[in-house]
Structure 1
Amino acid sequence: MKKTIMISLVALILMPISMGYKIGDINHDGSVDIADVVYLFKHRNIPLDEGDVNCDNSIDIADVVYLFKNYDEMRKPVVFAETFQLEPHWDEGYCIVVDSKGNKFVLLKEGASNPNIPNAKVINIPVQKLVTIFYSPFISTADILNDTSCYDTIKGAPLYAIKNSPTLYKYYEDGKCVDIGKSSSIDYEKVTAIDPNIVFLGDWSAHDEMEEKLKELGITTSRFYTYKEPTFMGRIEWIKFAAAFWGEDKYNKTEDYFQKTWKARNNILRKVYGVQNYPTVVDFSWSKYKNLPGIYGAQHYYNKMVNNFGGEYIFNDIPGTSFQYLDKETFYERAMNADVCILRWFYGDVKTKEDLLAINPDFANFKAFKNGRFYVSHPDYYVWETKDPIGYMMDFAKMIHPELFGGDDDLKYYYKIK
């Protein structure tokens, strides 16, 4: 199916080739400003992944215009994420962060002067004892940094999240990290015994209740809505939020990691730019208990990634990012004829046609099942979204356009059903 390529401006911001430079810093002078626009206007013989700011696989006046219109956005410390804010003042010894519920924190280095930001809670950094309710973003960021000083601070988390990190699980076995219960129901006595500097909670309604209870106990809380980010890069950008609580050095390392990921994403966009064939794609989950399919709205980062990587999500007419179950008849009406099916599955490995049909025999009638374009996630796929976002994005690119990316037989986090 052919369609006009529609990619949002923000999604196409340049990632420079040299790690450590600001996004959009074309002339590599350490800042993003009008000088970069002038430089790009005068110099077109620069590497494609530096000068092609609109990712249309060429460097021309359109890139100059784009850079001129967007360099103010490019200079900001947070570009994609919409559910947190961050304002680093590392030279002055602090960083301001605002979480997903508007809670404001001043992360203060030892010996630095408190800037006395109104309505802000001061947290001395690097933080010494934290508790987190999910694997991402704190445990995942610790795994990315692979730094003992980060793991040392994670004193409590649900056991499922601890198990997702081999290093933190060893801490748990050694009694250095505590299982605080379930993500939906924590053990307040264990949390209180930890005496954390801060507890990080997600976006569930159960976490609203936890927040109130922890406040009654005099424990500082913060909220992260990582999974409500409308873009995949927005979700990944939460590593900056997490790393800021460990100080400037960790923050800078995650900035470099984020930029590297951004560069890889833009390279994928360039490769799919101008494709004439847009396979129809359905990305969905299947409830083992309800025996029903579940999908996210078209603005969810999974489905945006499908559209941006040269596919056409078959439920683009369902707005928003919320998850919902569909009745089988409604789902089958479109999904049965989709060129590509991507199933997110939590309950064990599904590698063969027999494994897949054990979930739902009706999959045998799907076009994707018959043409060899049916894929099923590894059960821990969500761990690798932030732990290896480049590999995860490349899986999506290969599933949607295997002909452009060397085939789909070497996926890292999805099984191709054979």
Structure 2
Amino acid sequence: MKIIKSLLFLSTLVLFTACKQEKKASPKSNTNTSVTYAKGFDIQEFDTYKKLIINTPYPNAEEALEYIIIPKENSVPDSLKTFKIIRTPIEKVVVTSTTHIPMLELLDEEDALVGFPNLKYISSSKTRDRIDQNLITELGNEESINTEILLDVAPELLIGFSMSNNNKMFNTIEKAGIPVVLNGDWLEETPLGRAEWIKFFAVFFEKEKEADSIFTTIETDYKAAVTIATKATTKPTILSGVLYKDVWNLPAGESFVAKFLKDANTNYLWANTKGKGSLSLSFESVYDKGQHAELWLAPGHYSSLEQLEKADEHYVKFDAFKNHKIFSFTQKKGATGGALYYELAPVQPHIVLKDIIKITHADLLPNYEPVYLQKLN
């Protein structure tokens, strides 16, 4: 999975915290930027600035990271100078995951993107056009951003993500005068929680109202799809995942993928398991529970039944294989070969849900054509 692979190249930022003598901030104002579904961040609004709180900047984080977001024309109060300060609106930004690209595009801020590590991974046609015009700079490989090139690009902000709290690269970038903010959208537990991170991006461009409107549309469409799914008279049994070496990886019962399957009104066979990520199981245990599953969703990177059979002859024993009921999210590719699902789907949970409903309850969406979920032949 590209989003997971790309996560391996960054780690985190150690943030200064406010001193205990900080004077009380002005009262929060009543705005529409409240965070509803996302657990990983929050935005607190005051009269002359905002505080961005990243509750889960990386897995198992014990402390939140806090940033002060303040307009360029405003002075910074002495009581806030121990925080990391981000001046807005941002005009030049570097992001580090392909999942960040659609967020910028939805806010009409793709022109602010001036650099990215491994440009070949970007699939969005709008941003690829800017790459072809040499408007976005290649910043190096996934594990180490070229700091010299980054300094030449001179972004006002770098949005990164991390697997831990130990990263020399981000420290170096910050010492060079480029603020780094960590994004933890990939750690969200629900589809709408992931999509709501558009509000995180909006705060840097002073486009909170636009983000609220965009997210409200996503939320409304998602809830409408959930309502449609409740009309189903059957719940098909679902198998997911695939073997990697000797381990079968599939979504845990508290993961956002399991949430999709629940909202689609299906019977995901591992829905009652604990965990918010993946389960690592033996083939035998998966076969014992899933051999008669009616549908098999997301079989890794495989694009045909023939590929599956060549990879492991045991796959043919599953009813879903015998009945040609295996569906993949990764068949639709961008211009450079990347799976569009991994880049675009995080901000399109309503579309992903409708794809699943179409496959599992075809009669409920008779005129709908799946965008990502395609049958393996």
Q: 1:115-151 deviations in whole A, cap 9, x for unaligned? A: 66644322221112222210123x1112223x2xx22
Q: CA deviation at 1:195?
A: 2.8
Q: CA deviation at 1:301?
A: 0.3
Distance 1:167 1:205, change over 3 A: same
Query: Which of 64, 79, 87 is the matching residue for 2:44?
Result: 87
Query: Which of 174, 183, 191 is the matching residue for 2:150?
Result: 191
Amino acid at match of 1:301: F
Amino acid at match of 2:315: F
The one of the two structures with greater contact order (alpha-carbon pairs below 8 A, sep at least 6) is 2
Amino acid at match of 1:197: E
Q: What residue is the counterpart of 2:198 in the other structure?
A: 239
Query: Which of 259, 263, 270 is the matching residue for 1:304?
Result: 259
The equivalences for 1:163-182 within 5 A come to 163-182=122-141
Q: CA deviation at 1:258?
A: 0.9
Q: What residue is the counterpart of 1:369 in the other structure?
A: 321
The equivalences for 1:13-52 within 5 A come to none
The CA distance in 1 between the partners of 2:242 and 2:110, in whole Å, is 32
The CA distance in 1 between the partners of 2:367 and 2:318, in whole Å, is 21
Q: What residue is the counterpart of 2:335 in the other structure?
A: none
SS at match of 2:364: coil
SS at match of 1:128: coil
Distance 1:110 1:186, change over 3 A: closer
Q: CA deviation at 1:76?
A: 6.8
Query: Which consecutive unaligned segments of at least 5 residues does structure 1 have?
Result: 1-71
Amino acid at match of 2:282: D
Q: 2:33 touches 2:199 (CA, 8 Å); kept in 1? A: no
Query: Which of 224, 230, 246 is the matching residue for 1:267?
Result: 224
Q: What residue is the counterpart of 2:297 in the other structure?
A: 342
Q: What residue is the counterpart of 1:126 in the other structure?
A: 89
Q: CA deviation at 1:179?
A: 1.6
Amino acid at match of 2:348: D
The CA distance in 2 between the partners of 1:334 and 1:130, in whole Å, is 48
Q: 1:232-281 deviations in whole A, cap 9, x for unaligned? A: 10000011101211113xx2222111111111111122222264532221
Q: CA deviation at 1:285?
A: 4.7
Q: 2:33 touches 2:209 (CA, 8 Å); kept in 1? A: no
The CA distance in 1 between the partners of 2:132 and 2:160, in whole Å, is 24
Query: Which of 350, 355, 360 is the matching residue for 1:395?
Result: 355
The CA distance in 1 between the partners of 2:150 and 2:246, in whole Å, is 36
Q: Output the TM-score relative to the length of structure 2.
A: 0.78
SS at match of 1:185: coil
SS at match of 2:274: coil
The CA distance in 1 between the partners of 2:138 and 2:299, in whole Å, is 27
Distance 1:207 1:199, change over 3 A: farther
Amino acid at match of 1:271: I
Q: 1:131 touches 1:157 (CA, 8 Å); kept in 2? A: yes
- Are 1:404 and 2:361 matched, yes or no? no
Query: Which of 87, 90, 96 is the matching residue for 2:51?
Result: 96
Of 201-210 and 252-261, deviating more is 201-210
Distance 1:105 1:156, change over 3 A: same
The equivalences for 1:221-232 within 5 A come to 221-232=180-191
Amino acid at match of 1:263: T
The CA distance in 2 between the partners of 1:206 and 1:188, in whole Å, is 20
Distance 1:95 1:136, change over 3 A: farther
Q: 1:299 touches 1:320 (CA, 8 Å); kept in 2? A: yes
Q: What residue is the counterpart of 1:140 in the other structure?
A: 102
Q: Tell me the matched-pair count.
A: 332
The CA distance in 2 between the partners of 1:113 and 1:161, in whole Å, is 40
Q: 2:355 touches 2:372 (CA, 8 Å); kept in 1? A: yes
Query: Which of 201, 211, 220 is the matching residue for 1:254?
Result: 211
The CA distance in 2 between the partners of 1:291 and 1:140, in whole Å, is 35
Of 158-167 and 381-390, deviating more is 158-167
Distance 1:411 1:125, change over 3 A: same
Amino acid at match of 1:238: W
Q: 1:373 touches 1:399 (CA, 8 Å); kept in 2? A: no
SS at match of 1:122: strand
Amino acid at match of 1:253: E
Q: CA deviation at 1:339?
A: 1.8
Q: CA deviation at 1:387?
A: 4.5
Q: 1:278-328 deviations in whole A, cap 9, x for unaligned? A: 2221232554xx375322321110111111221122123431113344332
RMSD: 2.9
Query: Which consecutive unaligned segments of at least 5 residues does structure 2 have?
Result: 1-29, 58-63, 331-338
Distance 1:322 1:203, change over 3 A: farther
SS at match of 2:106: helix
Distance 1:181 1:328, change over 3 A: farther
Q: What residue is the counterpart of 2:159 in the other structure?
A: 200
- Are 1:318 and 2:250 matched, yes or no? no
Report percent identity of matched pairs.
20
Q: 1:343 touches 1:376 (CA, 8 Å); kept in 2? A: yes
Distance 1:381 1:358, change over 3 A: farther
Query: Which of 203, 208, 219 is the matching residue for 2:178?
Result: 219
Q: CA deviation at 1:415?
A: 1.1
Distance 1:76 1:109, change over 3 A: closer
Amino acid at match of 2:278: F
Q: 1:171-219 deviations in whole A, cap 9, x for unaligned? A: 3333321222233332222223323322222132497443334344443
